[in-house]
Amino acid sequence: MKRKKNRHHNVYVIELDPDVLLEERFRKANPDHRPGMKCLYVGMTGLDPEKRFENHLAGYKSNRYVRRYGVKLCPLMYEEYNPLSYEDASEMEIELARILRRKGYAVWQK
């Protein structure tokens, strides 16, 4: 009997304050960023995205850009993809970052 893949992982997108562009490493990772487009962080988690965002801001297993520049979650950019299996979420995290970069956003993805 085949078991269904466990689908309790999520991808998520966090808006970052534009001051993150002052960080050379972030700026260099986004050479095609279009001025006026938002700066974003894309991640994946086994938690609810809101809880994961809280953890980032609290410094628990956090990304430094989110901890310093995190503004808010952007559910309209990710909720259609959730929930996912771990494997699918890992792939979707990468693909979603690519999609957003192609649109001109500045994106950090671990």
In which residue are the tokens 């959730």 written? 82
In a domain, 4, yes or no: no
Phi, psi of 101 (to 5 degrees): -65, -40
Q: Give residue-wise pLDDT tens across range 43-95.
A: 999 999 999 999 999 999 999 999 999 999 999 999 999 999 999 999 999 99
Print the domain residue range for 57.
10-41+48-101
The CA distances from residue 40 to 26, 28, 47, 75, 96, in Å, are 10, 14, 19, 12, 11
Per-residue pLDDT, 4: 53
Phi, psi of 22 (to 5 degrees): -75, -15
Is the model's pTM score more than 0.75? yes
Report if residue 93 sits inside a domain. yes
Q: Is residue 108 part of a domain?
A: no
Number of domains composing the chain: 1
